[in-house]
Amino acid sequence: MVHLNANEVRQLLHNKFVVVMGDSVQRAVYKDLVLLLQKDCLLSTSQLKAKGEMSFEHDVLLEGGRLGPMHNGTHYREVRQFCSAHHLVRFYFLTRAYSPYVEKVLAQLLWAEHRPDVVVMNSCLWDVSRYGRDSMGSYRKNVERLFWRLHRVLPESCLLVWNTAMPVAKTVSGAFLPPEHRLRRARLRADVVEANFYSASEARRHGFGVLDLHFHFRHSSPDRQPDGIHWNARAHRKLTQLLLAHLADAWGGDVPRGNPVGRWMWEGPASGLRGPTRDASRLEDGGGESAEEPRASRPPRPACPSAQSWRPPVPLPRDRRCFPRCPQGAGSRPDQSRRRQRCSGDPSELRARYGLEANLMGGLQRRRGRIHTAFEQHRHHVLHRASPPYPPGPPERPRRRWRRGREPRQGRAHGPGTQ
């Protein structure tokens, strides 16, 4: 498997806007990606368990989290964003595949100043365990509506990657399952497999990319946390590398192979190689995870290809900045064009801009009265880009009723002499 270091990840995601949407597992995907964009170290246990914190590795909490009440309900919200000179990564916490909140997020991405280049998404565990007995049937309908809307909202240049839900343990004690849903814990393992089949099939039907994390981590139970749901830092780094390899393959990029950092990640500290977290200074700065028990070494990997089989990464361009920081001068005027605006490091300013985009989205997307169905939209020949996600059906045609034993009227003669 290809393993990229921080410098190579920055080059791969240069001037890219990445959006991650999902539950707490996808939040760890966002955190590991943000950390890898800055330095070569793993997430600490406290960073993996943290929820709704005001800042993580120089990112900003834009909405929800500790800005509001903290709870484990289905209405919990958390929006985070990491912005640098050349990278923009945003995370939305979701508890359902499709809901009015998801429609709000999609409309915000549609009308926002920055159009996403990559969308990484998953929603499964909350859907099949917190929404009643017919949760699986509702999940299938919501997944169909979700991909129908994504196909119409996202630009053609955007790459969507649907992550299948990772395998859960036989005994689950996650906090997202309250005591009144204990009966769902026994079936959660099988429900995840069934939900992954439906969601992956629907994603492929719409032409979206699928990253089968359930398959890749089917034998990685030692890396799973005691709650049976979440995973440790090494598993999330492997997940990030799988995601980056998928993006590089989709974009046709050349990535280096035979990276010793990747071998250290695969075989663990027992391999004797120098890993990214063996440096004490980096451990102190990033809180990297290095106190895990040594693991048995895997079989030797095949020899790396020759130097002629790959090209070195292209140097990072320095002349153009896609997300530069705002200047400190008072006389600078903001750019009012549709180009990507400058990204400020002030958390209050970022939250204000995020709220302004949400209000702007609400003004551009007026909905008065009841929601129109797909038939009414075809009848009036109006199909708005932010319309509700009902699958469009064929327009209704007038039907003629014929009685048995009678010929059509146009075939019969009319007049006083006919009987």
Alpha helices for 127-176 (secondary structure H): 135-153
When pLDDT is averaged across residues 167-191 and rounded to a whole number, the result is: 78
Alpha helices for 50-134 (secondary structure H): 100-111
Structure tokens at 82: 């990491």
Stated as kind and residue range, the H or E segment containing 120 is: strand 118-121
- Cα-Cα-Cα-Cα torsion 92, 94, 100, 106, nearest 10 degrees, comes to 40
- Spatial distance between the Cα atoms of 409 and 415, rounded to a whole number of angstroms: 13
- Spatial distance between the Cα atoms of 273 and 267, rounded to a whole number of angstroms: 9
- Cα-Cα-Cα-Cα torsion 345, 361, 359, 363, nearest 10 degrees, comes to 150
For residue 194, name the pLDDT band (cuts at 50, 70, 90): very high
For residue 345, name the pLDDT band (cuts at 50, 70, 90): low
Can you tell me whether residue 35 is helix, strand or coil?
helix
Burial of 14 (0-12, 13-18, 19+ CB in 10 A): middle
Pairing of strands 87-93, 78-83: antiparallel
Structure tokens at 97: 């595949």
pTM value is: 0.69
What confidence tens digit (pLDDT) does each residue in 14-31 have?
999 999 999 999 999 999
For residue 235, name the pLDDT band (cuts at 50, 70, 90): very high
Stated as kind and residue range, the H or E segment containing 10 is: helix 6-12
Q: Say if residues 342 and 323 touch (Cβ distance below 8 Å).
A: yes
Higher pLDDT, 178 or 341: 178
What whole-number percentage of the chain has pLDDT above 70? 59
pLDDT for residue 296 is more than 50:
no
Closest CA to 262 of 286, 287, 244: 244
Structure tokens at 119: 């969308």
What confidence tens digit (pLDDT) does each residue in 316-341 have?
444 344 444 433 333 333 343 344 45
What's the confidence (pLDDT) of residue 187? 86
What confidence tens digit (pLDDT) does each residue in 245-286 have?
999 999 987 776 655 444 545 455 444 444 444 333 333 344
> DSSP letter string over 366-384?
---SSPPPHHHHHHTT---
Residue appearing with tokens 């991405």: 109
178-183: long-range pairs with CB below 8 Å, 24+: 178/72, 181/129, 181/130
pLDDT for residue 212 is more than 60:
yes
Q: Say if residues 130 and 72 touch (Cβ distance below 8 Å).
A: no
Size (the chain), residues: 419
Where b means 16+ CB within 10 Å and e means fewer, 272-284 reads eeebbbebeebbe
